[in-house]
Chain A
Amino acid sequence: MEREGEWMSPVTETFLVDTETRREWMAALARAIPGELERLWSALKDKPERYFLRPPEVGLVMVRGRAGGTGMRFNLGEATMTRCTVQVNGAVGTAYVLGRNVRHAELAALFDGMLQDPRRHAALMKEVVKPIIVSIQDRKRQLAQKAAATKVEFFTMERGEE
């Protein structure tokens, strides 16, 4: 289980804040299979103390899209989403995860907070984020293969004159 820590104030250390890379790991954590994240978490040595700034809460987000990728955006429909913000050793980790799995949101936020710690970043990228990205790509490929097997080519036989 997680150790409940105290709120730390204010943050004096420098944390990694490169938005592009953070976006990548946050997306990977949000798309991971919850069981996989749980396994990676329990395999982790030296678990940090955590302090909830916003305990996991379930809500709705409006999914918007463009028909054919062009034109005006329209509201496609609402999707359930769980969000969580947690303080981990002075860094603030946040997660927005599709669905209602509160544990998933909590773990994703915990990892996000830890990944901002320069002392742990490299190891976590290698042991947690990379395997998740590989697994996401595998699932994507399998899905694509399954879909490709049912692909139908439409063509017209060439007919002779008359």
Chain B
Amino acid sequence: MMPIGVNLSNLTPGFSDPVLDSQQSFRGILHAMAHPGRAVTLGAGLRVPTPLHQAAAAACLTVLDMETPLWTDLPESSDAVDWLRFHCGCPVVQDPSNAAFALITRGEFLTSLDPFNYGEDAFPEKSTTLIVQVSGLLSGSGKCSIRGPGIAACERLNIHGLKKEFWKAWRANHGLYPLGVDVLFSSGTTLVALPRTSEAGD
């Protein structure tokens, strides 16, 4: 059921073909997760409310529903939150540790991963998955090196708009394996996954 209080006046549509588009998008996310650091294109043609990126918005439409609590850095009464509530029907929670997914629209403010849910030993899959918007993403070359399962030797990534503190937090997160959060970076229609298994640094 749609929560009460969604302002519909500035609403834009979601996927034009909900079934095929979300399947295609899910396949893309799966591919990104299986190949950390490699870019996939997601959400091209999607009309999204500011400040959402098309790739982040497409990921939200694909993975969020009424059973996945979402935490976001957006103000509660914003067009983007209304859009997510209307199209995904997801509950928006105040406490990041209760969130199955977190949407961080300004990656430059993400300096710690501790507020999120790292999962439990019995249920490591219950950790929060972060969808983080950054100002630039380019795979294939760059300062950031990623190693781990799914990568033959080393994957290189150029990523703009992240603080040094993030990479420190990421090393701690990687050390928690099998616990820890997974991250999907988004910039425009580009999506890059960084699962907890990946060792990464700037």
Q: Is the pair B8, A53 in contact by a Cβ cutoff of 8 Å?
A: yes
- Chain A residue numbers with a CB within 8 Å of B9 are 10-11, 92
Closest 4 CB pairs of A and B: A92-B8, A11-B9, A10-B10, A53-B13
List B contacts of A94 (CB < 8 A): 8
**Inter-subunit contact A7/B13 (CB<8 Å):** yes
Q: Is B87 an interface residue (CB 8 A)?
A: yes
- For chain A, residues 12 to 51, give those with C-beta under 8 angstroms from any C-beta of chain B: 51
Contact partners of A53 in chain B: CB under 8 A = 8, 11-13, 86
B8–A7 touching, CB < 8 Å? no
Min Cβ gap A62→B in Å is: 9
Question: What residues of chain B have their CB less than 8 Å away from a CB belonging to chain A?
Answer: 1, 8-14, 18, 47, 86-87
A111 interfacial contact with B, CB 8 Å: no
Give the docked Cα–Cα distance between A9 and B14 (Å).
15
Contact size range, A: 10 to 19
User: Bound complex: CA of A55 vs CA of B17, how far in Å?
Assistant: 9
Is A54 a contact partner of B8 (Cβ separation < 8 A)? no
Considering the complex, give the chain B residue whose CB is closest to the CB of A90: B9
Smallest beta-carbon distance A85→chain B, Å: 7
**What is the bound-complex CA distance between A51 and B1, given in angstroms?**
22
Q: Do A57 and B10 touch across chains, with their CB atoms under 8 A apart?
A: no
Bound-state Cα–Cα, A51 to B13, Å:
9
A7-B47, A54-B86, A57-B18 as given contacts; A85 in contact with B8, CB under 8 Å: yes
Q: Total A-B pairs in contact (CB under 8 Å)?
A: 31
* A interface list, Cβ under 8 A from B: 7, 9-11, 51-55, 57, 61, 85, 87, 92, 94
A53-B8, A53-B12 known; 19 new pairs, CB 8 Å cut-off, are A7-B12, A7-B13, A9-B10, A9-B12, A10-B9, A10-B10, A53-B11, A53-B13, A53-B86, A54-B13, A54-B87, A55-B18, A57-B18, A85-B8, A85-B11, A85-B86, A92-B8, A92-B11, A94-B8
Minimum CB–CB distance from A128 to chain B (whole Å) comes to: 22
Hey, which chain A residues are within 8 Å of B1, CB to CB?
61
Inside 8 A of B11's CB, which chain A residues have their CB?
53, 85, 87, 92
Neighbouring A residues of B14 by C-beta, 8 Å: 54
Q: Measured between alpha carbons, how far is A7 from B12 in the docked complex, in Å?
A: 7
What residue of chain B has the Cβ atom nearest to residue A10's Cβ?
A: B10
Chain A residue at minimum C-beta to C-beta distance from B12? A7
Distance (Å) between the CB of B90 and the closest chain A CB?
A: 15
Chain A nearest Cβ from B56, distance in angstroms: 20
B86 contacts across to A, CB distance below 8 A: 53-54, 85
- Bound Cα distance from A89 to B18, whole angstroms: 24
A45 to chain B, nearest CB (A): 27
Q: How far is the CA of A52 from the CA of B9 in the complex (A)?
A: 13
Residues of B within 8 Å of A10, CB to CB, are 9-10
Contact sample, A vs B, 24 pairs, CB 8 Å cutoff:
A7-B12, A7-B13, A7-B47, A9-B12, A11-B9, A51-B13, A52-B13, A53-B11, A53-B12, A53-B13, A53-B86, A54-B13, A54-B14, A54-B86, A54-B87, A55-B18, A57-B18, A85-B8, A85-B11, A87-B11, A92-B8, A92-B9, A92-B11, A94-B8
